[in-house]
Chain A
Amino acid sequence: LMIPDREIILLQQQWVDIYERLPVPFGLVRFGVAPDHPEVKNVINTFTLTARNSRCSFYGNVNVGKDVSIEELQQAYHAVVLSYGAEGNRRMGVPGEDLAGVYSAKDFVGWYNGLPSCQELSPDLNCETAVILGQGNVALDVARILLAPTDILKKTDITQPALEALVQSQVRRVLIVGRRGPMQVACTIKEFREMVNLPDTRPEMMADDFEGILSLSICAVSDLPRPRKRLTELMMKTALEIPSEKEQERQSKASRVWAFRFLRSPIEILANPDNSRTVGIRLAVNRLEGSGDGARAVPTGEVEDVTCGLLISSIGYKSLPIDPSVPFDSHKAIVPNNMGRVQHTAGLYCSGWLKTGPTGVIATTMNNSFDTARSVVEDMESGTVDVSAARPGSQSISGLLEERGVKPVTFSNWEKIDSLEMSRGEASGKPREKLLTVEEMLQVARK
């Protein structure tokens, strides 16, 4: 839902309607950003200003592709922008992937962030060791939520059921496993530093993993682009430097452990005797060929078994096709486009992860969306998109939806949900207590 307010400013005469499947707006800002990263959610204020613009209307509870087709939208509007992100996830493709105790990070994050479709997950946290596959920021978010003191979590907007499960959790050790080496981790320094500073935890990085880097000359590390250099230096410091006395004391008292494990790929998820749940994972040991971002993980033939009762796969999200009439590149899992203009389809655009694939931070995706907005404006100004004749817009779509028994949720309906969540949260010292089912959201929206 990265509809930038630039678009409103640029399109001085235009009206913008936003269609969203859930009754509530904001997408990943609400359901993806970790509960203990509230400042990242401040961008909601900018979105809210945009939504409240008199020429902008939000229609929640509308499933595009099911309640209304893309073709119908294209007939009703001069331009349609697809901005629905990546709600699928990449599968590991190994035996045992569907055993109990194995979850995708997408579902696990959806669970603790209140995504209605993930509320039945009920992950079993009655084990000592959890393994997370993947070393990006989502993997670190999951690790941090599993290990953070619940005294901290209870003041966030994490859901109440998730909080209760974490309070009871027996998980004491989290391994964050990657196919390649330290110089290929996909996470960023802010998240890594948060692990280093996480109260009541200590790192268990293995010095050997960094031998290869040490043997590189100092120049090689200092020649790296700044973000990679600073992150590599911090990892090396965490793995190799002897901590100060104060830090050693803090670490000795810590009740939880986290570690990065490198050069390991999943081969098979191991099951208990009656094949009902996971008890561990078999990992292939890799070596690296090449260096930098292009380095490849090559199996050595060795394997290693790791005991764990919880396995979370965090190897990437994936966009899904919305409507057969929209071109879709299933190899890259994006809508093929040129600067946001969908190939072979005038008047249809895409932005965000659907356009470029599911990576990047707010700044990246924001700029990406601004680019698409510029393409739309250019096309309107050049006549590629013919705006000389008016289009019915929401009038005709509302008519269709009514015929089909679909009742959209407006932005002011959402604000009732928002108010209720915030006042429920206040009672327990949380910024909000999220509603967890679509039914409840609709009930409150319509009061």
Chain B
Amino acid sequence: MAASAAVRSSMGLTFRLSRVMPDCNTCPLNRLKSCVSGAANVQRRGSFDSFRTINRNLQTSKGLYHSEEGSSNAEDPEDVVNVVYIDRSGKRIPVKAKVGDNVLYLAHKHGIDLEGACEASLACSTCQVYVSADHFDKLPEPEEREDDMLDMAPMLQENSRLGCQITLTRDLDGIELTLPKVTRNFYVDGHVPKPH
């Protein structure tokens, strides 16, 4: 059940301030138990004020996601997670991320075109990524709802996951995330049309 959304683009990023009811089950802050507003404890979903609080926190916590590459007063180096995105043209984009970063929003922050149509609410499959073999097994098992959405992802592979469900940990240092190539004459069931 979503409250209505207001949209504002900020700094040219797709990061949004919105009055969308958060789904604590999928929020990385909740998973890391670092949701300062205690949203998971909010029983009364009718309260708009608590959501504004949450969103304000999400916005200021942009600092959490802001990586300072090569900066001498960078945060604890133990917190750094090296990630490589491989975009749809095959270009490798290394990113210095931090523990706790969300793979989808991290991609957006770095201008990588990983779509997130439903905004991390497990209602689409547009943020599908292929995870490097060395790191795939280090990810926690997907919950049923993620598996259900992955079922609908085009060009699903054994190492597919939804980017919005991956939260970076130290274990995942060196992880490589490949964006599925969007091919021409594309069919959901993998059917390749015969030339005519």
Contacts and interface: CB of A to CB of B under 8 A. Distances in A.
Interface of A: 6, 36-46, 48-49, 52, 155-156, 188-190, 193, 225-227, 230-231, 293, 339, 359-364, 366-368, 370-371, 422, 425, 429, 431-432
A359 B191 CA distance: 14
Interface of A is mostly: helix
Interface of B: 1-5, 7, 9, 14, 16, 18, 20, 23, 46, 113, 115, 117-119, 121-126, 128, 144-145, 147-149, 151-154, 156, 182, 184-186, 188-190
A42 B125 contact: no
Contacts, number: 108
Contact of B126 (A44, A363, A371, A432): A363
Contacts of B118: 39-40, 42-43, 362
Contacts of A37: 123
A346 to B, nearest CB: 19
Q: 4 closest Cβ contacts across the A-B interface?
A: A39-B121, A38-B2, A227-B151, A39-B123
A6 B113 CA distance: 9
Contact of A366 (B1, B117, B145, B190): B117
Contacts of B149: 190
B5 to A, nearest CB: 6
B185 A39 contact: no
Nearest to B46: A429
Contacts of A431: 1-4
Contacts of B7: 45, 48-49
A367 B115 CA distance: 10
A227 B152 contact: yes
B154 A363 contact: yes
Residue among A190, A226, A230, A363 having the largest count of chain B Cβ atoms under 10 Å = A363
Contacts of A360: 188
Nearest to A432: B4
Contacts of B156: 226-227
Contact of B189 (A193, A293, A361): A293
Contacts of B153: 363
B109 to A, nearest CB: 16
Contacts of B14: 46, 49
A190 B148 contact: yes
A363 B116 CA distance: 10
B182 A46 contact: no
Given A45-B7, A45-B18, A39 B186 contact: no
Given A45-B18, A155-B1, A339-B184, A230 B151 contact: yes
B148 A189 contact: yes
- Of residues B4, B5, B20, B188, which shows the largest number of chain A Cβ atoms within 10 Å of its Cβ? B4
A360 B186 CA distance: 11
B184 A366 contact: no
Contacts of A226: 151, 156
A156 B1 contact: yes
Given A39-B2, A42-B118, 11 more contacts: A42-B20, A46-B14, A46-B115, A188-B151, A226-B156, A231-B151, A361-B124, A363-B152, A367-B154, A367-B186, A371-B186
Contacts of B3: 431
A128 B182 CA distance: 47
Nearest to A423: B4
Most buried by B among A188, A362, A432: A362
Contacts of B2: 38-39, 41-42, 431
B152 A45 contact: no
Q: Which of A38, A44, A189, A368 has the largest count of B CB atoms less than 10 A from its CB?
A: A38
